A and B are shown apart, each in its own frame.
Chain A
C-alpha cells in the first residue's frame, strides 16, 4: 500500500491517468444513474432491473454489429430497443406496483432482473462477449496518459445526454408533465395529465438510457448475462448520494465515484476497491445526516 503511494509520487502523471480513466468509468454509471433517479423520483420505484437493462443494451449493440450495421450505430439502436422493452415491461408489470409499498416494487423489479438474466442466458449464451468499435486510443501528456477513445465517447455522451435530459424535463411538454407528476400525481391527473402515460414514458426513457450505457460497456469492456448487478448497485449508490431531483449532482457523484474507485483501487489494492466505494457511501450518508441535524436544530 505504501509502495503504491510512493509510486504516485515517483510518477505524478500516474494520478492524472488514474483519475481520468476513473472519470470515464464513472460516465457509464452516470448514464444508468440518470434513469434510476428519474424512475425513483417519478414512479417512486427503486428499479433493480437497471443493470439488466445495461446488459441487454450491450447484447442489442452486439447483435446490431453482427447484423452488419456500423458498430457505433449499435448505441442508439440499443437505446431504442430498450425504450420499447421498457415500455412493454411497464405495461406488463411495473404499473401494477406503482402505488404499492416500496418493498413490493423492489421485490417485483428484483424478480424481473432474474427473469431477464436467465432469458438472456438462454438467448445469447453465458459467454463473455465484447465488441470492437475500432476507435483507438487518445494519448495525453506525451503518451503518459492513455485513454481509450470509446471511453471518452462514453464520457461526452453521458454529459450530452444529461444536458438533453435537463432541457427535456425543463422545456418539453412531456418533460413538464413528468415533473408535475413527480411533484403531485393526483393534482397532475386532475389537471388533465395522463399520469399512466407519463409513468410509461419515464420508465421507457430510463431503459433507453441504460441501453445506451450497455452499448458503451460492450465496446469498452465486456458483457455477459450476469454482469448487471454492479451497475444496479453503482447507480443506486450514486442516486443515494446525489439525491433524486438533481441531474448535475448525479453527474458529479457518478464521475466522482468512478475516479475515487480507480484511485482507491490503485492505492489500497483492487481487492478493496468495492469495499471502499461502500465505505465512502456510508461516510457521505453520515455526513449528510449530521448536516441535516444541524439544520433541524436551527429550525427549533
Chain B
C-alpha cells in the first residue's frame, strides 16, 4: 500500500494527494474524530530498552482504552489520543534533542515522560522552556522536584520513599524500635542515594541505629566486603539499593555466605528476576514496588488493578510490570486534565494538571506544588513460597509479613 502512494511522482499526483488530504481534514466527523497528539521520546534501544518498551506498552494500552471508550471530551467535542514516539537511545542528550524536536518541529503540545530519572532530567528544561506540560511515570528522583519546574508532573512515588516502608515494618514488629539496628548498602548513584536519604530520615524518626552505611561503587560486581560486615554485626534489618545488579548480588551472596537476617529489603527485585533465578534463596526478601496487581485500587476506565493486569496480559502476553502500569496512569492523568480544562491550551491544561485529584487502578493521584504525586504510597512485596505477595501498605495487603524472613 505504501508503494502505491510513492508511485505518484508527478506534479498532478502530488496536487491530487494534497487536495485529498485537505478534503479529509475538513470532513466533519470523518472516520476518526480529531485527535490530540501527545509526544514521547522513550528508550526503545540502548540500556533502558526493556523498561522503555514497558513504558510504551503502558502508554499505548491507555490511549487505546480511552479511544475505544470514545476518546476525550473537551468543551463538548470528542478527541482521540494519538502518541508520537521517538527513540532516545537511552541517552540524555538525545532525549533533550527529541523533546525539542517534538515541540518545535512536530508541534506537539503535551509530552509523556521518558524512562528513567536521568532522561527526565534532561528533557524537563526543554518542556519548561516551551511551556509544554510533561506528565511522567518513570522519573522518580527527588532532584527532579527541587528545581521549581512548573510543567512537570510525576504519577509515581519519588525515590526517597522506596525503602521507607521496610523501616516502618521493622518499627512495627520490634518491641522497642530504638533498639533496631539497620545496615544499608546503597549504590553510589543519584537513585540509590535518594533512597538512602529517605531511609535515614525514617530511621532517625524511629530512633533506630544505623550500624553499616556502605556506598557501593557502580562498577563493583561483588558485595562480600559489605556482607562480611553484616555477618559480623548481625543487624536486624538490611537494606540494599543497587538496581537489578544490586538485588541479584544481594540475594546470591547472602545465600552464598550463609547469612540469615530477620529482614532484608531490596529495590528492583522484579527486574533482577530473583524468584525465577534464585528460587528458594529468594524466600522472604522484601521488594519495593510502585504498584502491584493485587492492590485494591480501581477506576472507570480499566476497572481494578487486577482487571488492568488481565487486559495487559491479554494484549501483550505477559503480566504487567509496574513500569507499564504507571505509564498507563500518566495517559489517564492527561485525559482527565484535558476534560477538566475544557480547552487544549497548554497553559490551561497545565493548571488543570496541577489540580488533579483522581483515583486510578494504579492508585490515587494528587500533585503537590513541585509536581510529584503525594497521594500514592509505595508497595512492598515479600517473596513467599515462590511468589510475590503484597505485605504493605497494610490496607490492601495480600499476606501477613513473615518475620523473621525465613519463618514459615
A-to-B contact residues, CB < 8 Å: 4, 7, 10-11, 14, 17-18, 21-22, 25, 121-122, 125-128, 130, 132, 137, 139, 143, 146-148, 151, 217, 221-222, 224-227, 229-230, 261-263, 265-266, 269-271, 273-274
Contacts and interface: CB of A to CB of B under 8 A. Distances in A.
B266 interface: no
Contacts, number: 118
A295 to B, nearest CB: 36
B14 interface: no
A266 B228 contact: yes
Given A25-B224, A226-B47, A132 B277 contact: yes
Query: Which 5 pairs, one residue from A and one from B, show the smallest C-beta to C-beta distance?
Result: A265-B225, A271-B215, A148-B256, A128-B244, A21-B224
B219 A274 contact: yes
Given A126-B46, A127-B271, A128-B271, A17 B225 contact: no
Interface stretch (B174-182, B229-237, B291-299, B395-403): B229-237
Contacts of B256: 137, 146-148, 151
Contact of A146 (B185, B252, B258): B258
A265 B225 CA distance: 6
A132 B253 CA distance: 12
A7 B232 contact: yes
B257 A126 contact: no
For the residues of A in contact with B, the DSSP-based class is: helix
A228 to B, nearest CB: 10
Query: Which of B253, B256, B271, B272 lies at the interface centre, i.e. has the most chain A CB atoms within 10 A of its CB?
Result: B256
Given A126-B48, A137-B256, A224-B245, A271 B188 contact: yes
Nearest to A222: B248
Given A126-B46, A128-B271, A146-B257, A266 B229 contact: yes
Contacts of B185: 270
A270 B48 contact: no
B49 A217 contact: no
B49 A18 contact: no
Given A222-B249, A271-B214, A274-B217, A127 B50 contact: yes
A300 B228 CA distance: 52
A227 B221 contact: yes
B22 interface: no
Contact of A270 (B226, B249, B255): B226
Interface string B238-258: 000001110011001101111
A120 B358 CA distance: 42
Contact of B217 (A127, A128, A270): A270
Given A146-B258, A222-B248, A269-B215, A125 B222 contact: no
B367 interface: no
A273 B217 contact: yes
Contacts of B273: 127
A4 B243 contact: no
A25 B222 contact: yes
6 contacts: A21-B224, A21-B228, A230-B219, A262-B224, A262-B225, A270-B215
Nearest to A127: B50
Contacts of B244: 127-128, 224
Given A130-B248, A266-B228, 10 more contacts: A7-B229, A126-B46, A130-B252, A137-B257, A146-B258, A221-B222, A221-B249, A262-B225, A270-B220, A271-B217
Contacts of B188: 271
Interface string B24-63: 0000000000000000000001111110000000000000
Given A7-B232, A126-B46, A127-B271, A270 B214 contact: yes
B150 to A, nearest CB: 33
Interface string B275-314: 0011100000000000000000000000000000000000
A127 B219 CA distance: 16
A199 B32 CA distance: 65
Nearest to A126: B47
Interface residues on B, range: 35 or more
Nearest to B221: A221
Interface string B331-371: 00000000000000000000000000000000000000000
B216 interface: yes
A14 B272 contact: no
Given A11-B232, A17-B231, A269-B214, A130 B277 contact: yes
Contacts of A265: 225-226
B1 to A, nearest CB: 29
A269 B278 CA distance: 28
Contacts of B90: 126
A141 to B, nearest CB: 13
A222 B220 CA distance: 11
A221 B224 CA distance: 11
A125 B49 CA distance: 7
A121 B90 CA distance: 12
Contacts of A229: 219
Given A146-B256, A221-B249, A274-B219, A126 B224 contact: no
Which one of B47, B49, B255 has the greatest number of beta carbons of chain A within 10 Å? B47
A148 to B, nearest CB: 4
Contacts of B217: 270-271, 273-274
A22 B233 CA distance: 20
A126 B228 contact: no
Most buried by A among B46, B278, B279: B46
Given A18-B228, A121-B46, A266-B228, A273 B245 contact: no
Contacts of B255: 137
Contacts of A269: 214-215
A219 to B, nearest CB: 10
Contact of B50 (A125, A137, A147, A273): A125
Contacts of B277: 130, 132
A264 to B, nearest CB: 8
A147 B228 CA distance: 11
B274 to A, nearest CB: 9
Interface centre among A18, A128, A147 (most CB of B within 10 A): A128
Nearest to A262: B225
A73 to B, nearest CB: 19
Contacts of A262: 222, 224-225, 228
A270 B279 CA distance: 28
Nearest to A10: B232
Contacts of A148: 253, 256-257
